[in-house]
Chain A
Amino acid sequence: DAGVTQSPTHLIKTRGQQVTLRCSPKSGHDTVSWYQQALGQGPQFIFQYYEEEERQRGNFPDRFSGHQFPNYSSELNVNALLLGDSALYLCASSLGTLNEQFFGPGTRLTVL
């Protein structure tokens, strides 16, 4: 049974560029949440998708957007990258919006 998978593993971009990160949930899960973890900090909630809709959103600007596909996989898009967007981006999946969340290995984004 595959767990949560994320791609790519690492990514290097320059300021102003756009990036797309991808997440496949654990088998049987229908909800995907995205978190940003800066170095030395705990993860911060970006948003959650359920039934292909954004259900909750954290305190992140509109440059951060997402999508959920009919197969429950999800994408996180970040436009106009800033140096401060450098972080580990974590995807978590769950069955429904209130149950235990299982995390993927993350995507390390470096913005130069």
Chain B
Amino acid sequence: KQEVTQIPAALSVPEGENLVLNCSFTDSAIYNLQWFRQDPGKGLTSLLLIQSSQREQTSGRLNASLDKSSGRSTLYIAASQPGDSATYLCAVGPLRGNNRLAFGKGNQVVVIP
């Protein structure tokens, strides 16, 4: 069974600092990895998708890396802004023959103005 862990569970940073969010997973036989953003009480917004053959993806101030061999992914958010305050979820899958996404519990981020 795929286990996904996100550390830290919660963090606060002053505006302008870079954010580093970590995700680890137990089974490296993944098809892709997605990072999502979730605002309180809302649905999930996809931020970045990394295919299993890729090492990283970038979009604006966001960069996500993937190391399948060690079962780790890192999401970097450069020059954080108060609008970046949200919960960030990491999801892996689908595995061959297993089409579900397995999620971590999220990193709850507060950017202090």
What is the interface of chain A, defined by CB distance below 8 A to chain B? 6, 33, 35, 40-45, 48, 55-56, 58, 88, 90, 92, 97-98, 100-106, 108
Contacts and interface: CB of A to CB of B under 8 A. Distances in A.
B74 to A, nearest CB: 18
Interface residues of B, number: 24
19 contacts: A33-B99, A35-B101, A35-B103, A40-B105, A42-B91, A42-B105, A42-B106, A43-B91, A43-B103, A45-B100, A56-B98, A56-B100, A98-B31, A103-B36, A103-B44, A103-B45, A104-B43, A105-B42, A106-B43
Contacts of A6: 43
A33 B100 contact: yes
Interface of B: 4, 31-32, 34, 36, 41-46, 49, 89, 91, 94, 98-106
What 6 pairs across the A-B complex have the smallest Cβ distances? Answer: A42-B103, A45-B100, A103-B44, A105-B43, A97-B99, A106-B43
Contacts, number: 60
A108 B106 CA distance: 19
Contacts of B100: 33, 45, 48, 56, 58
B102 A45 contact: yes
Interface SS of chain B: strand
Contacts of A98: 31, 94, 99
B7 to A, nearest CB: 13
A42 B32 contact: no
A64 B105 CA distance: 23
Contact of A90 (B34, B41, B43, B99): B43
